[in-house]
Structure 1
């Protein structure tokens, strides 16, 4: 009989496609995963993966095992949710996820307030611009910039955060204030692989390529801080820019849709007292700090 830990290793390797990519997914070292995979295959008496220079591919035996392993994971998730929903104590952990910008510049004040008011609740923060899956308990609560589609999630829209284009006054002193006519002559900061800015510029009537952005990173915090250092112009939250008197909004005539902010949690966990308290406190805090 396979135990759950072996099934998790098998699923992690199958979905990552290589030992190196599974390291972060399973939080184990590559040598450890290699040993566990060998032990798993020995216990089953058959190979589950073909090894090749590019990674791992499932054998016929591995392909046959995969659907059942995924059903086992779904059952474990349902069991975890059912147990968590029956918790009545406030003491314990709540795992929250939000974008890097929100975690670095907006959440700390809320976290400090929670530590003062409810020291019995431990908080885990996942700062990521990736959309964490609440259904597999990657997090209990999420602040997202998109509305969740899964029916098992509850969602509350908290705000529409206005955006603008900003530059540091040092940059503007060197290069001048941009206009629509001189837009292409300026230094723009943007994303590396993400295409949100490309689509945003196109929607505003400016079809630009990735190379339009002279400095690129998918870290929103890195781009914001580069802008504050005078590297160029970046798109960001108006409420965040208002904190720095050295920043100046430019090109306000170019329309930028506001960024929606959604608070989400799993429907079953929403009625857990500890989670409900944090969920409602976070909603109230955002409402009081638009």
Structure 2
């Protein structure tokens, strides 16, 4: 790479375009226009002498050279960001946290505890049922239902998660089925099949329907027990019980803002 002409700003913008999959989604996270990003990516290609993107209507597809550059940059991204920050800069550092629907919902109730009072981090929740790639810095911290296995990942064990059926008093004895690629949704599919009166594709909607008295929702107990109008209508499901882990990259876990956030998340979720 020609380090004399490839600026860190352009490399930072490259990371956004590469991770978001195109100019428009990258514009939303960088605050730059799509036209500006397009010009900067062309300038970066000229500066590095690499063809980085295959451009088509669906977005920007990474070339082999781009994937190599992405791998190079992810290992040093946090260090360069600290070195290039302005002295006395007061902007709070951004910490991106990914978690499933239910964990995100529980975290939102403890926002002040996680961000600090006064807030000393800028927290971005990425609520997703899929596992985002911490090694490639799609997020900084992720909640997982198993111990991390990658050599570059570090994990801390949290409280055990259990699932049970919940409904409001007088609600009809019918399941609310969730169509999602999660263990609890797959369990519902096996148990309920096509016999559900209502199906939803967002897990949170099953809670909304249960709160409205429309049926039985399968919920983690840390959600169900916090709903005053709901009661547990059956035993916990042993096959859905699992340990929860908080995971980050080995190189990031000692960053002050990451360490503070992890400590606070563990206090909220009973980390060990």
Tell me the TM-score normalized by structure 2.
Answer: 0.70
Q: What SS does the aligned partner of 1:6 have?
A: helix
- Structure 1 residues 280, 41: closer, same or farther in 2, change over 3 A? closer
- Give the corresponding residue for 1:240: 223
Query: Does the Cα contact within 8 Å between 2:164 and 2:235 map onto a contact in 1?
Result: yes
Q: In structure 1, what is the equivalent of residue 177 of structure 2?
A: 189
CA-to-aligned-CA distance 1:193-225 (integer Å, 9 cap, x gap): 4253453246xx63736x95733223x333322
Aligned-partner Cα distance in 1 for 2:79–2:115? 29
Unaligned runs of 5+ in 1: 84-90, 178-185
Aligned Cα root-mean-square deviation (Å): 4.2
CA contact (8 A) 1:94 1:275 kept: no
Gap change, CA 1:110 and 1:260, over 3 Å in 2: farther
| Structure 2: segments with no counterpart, 5+ residues | 84-90
Greater helix percent: which structure? 1
**How many residues are matched?**
260
Deviates more, 1:243-252 or 1:38-47: 38-47
How far apart, in 1, do the equivalents of 2:152 and 2:257 lie? Answer: 19
Distance in structure 1 (CA, Å) of the matches to 2:269 and 2:10: 42
Cα displacement string for residues 46-86 of structure 1 (whole angstroms, at most 9, x for unaligned residues): 9765554444557xxxx463254234424533744997xxx
- Aligned CA distance change for structure 1 residues 78 and 236 (closer, same or farther; 3 Å): same
**Relative contact order, CA 8 A, sep 6+: which one is greater?**
1
TM-score (norm: length of structure 1): 0.66
Larger Rg: 1
Confirm or deny that 1:223 pairs with 2:206. Answer: yes
Shift of 1:150: 2.0
Partner of 1:166: 166
**After alignment, is 70-79 or 221-230 more displaced?**
70-79
Q: Look up the match of 2:100.
A: 99
Per-residue deviation, residues 250-290 of structure 1 (Å, max 9, x unmatched) = 343864421422122333444455544443344344339x9
CA distance in 1, matches of 2:244, 2:80: 28
Contact 2:94 2:121 in 1 (8 A): yes
Cα distance change on mapping 1:26 and 1:200 into 2, 3 Å: farther
> Where in structure 2 are the equivalents of 1:140-289 lying within 5 Å?
140-170=140-170, 172=171, 175=172, 177=173, 186-191=174-179, 193-201=180-188, 206=191, 208=193, 214-218=198-202, 220-252=203-235, 255-272=238-255, 275-287=258-270
Secondary structure in structure 2 of the residue aligned to 1:206: helix
Cα 1:274–1:200 shift into 2, 3 Å = same
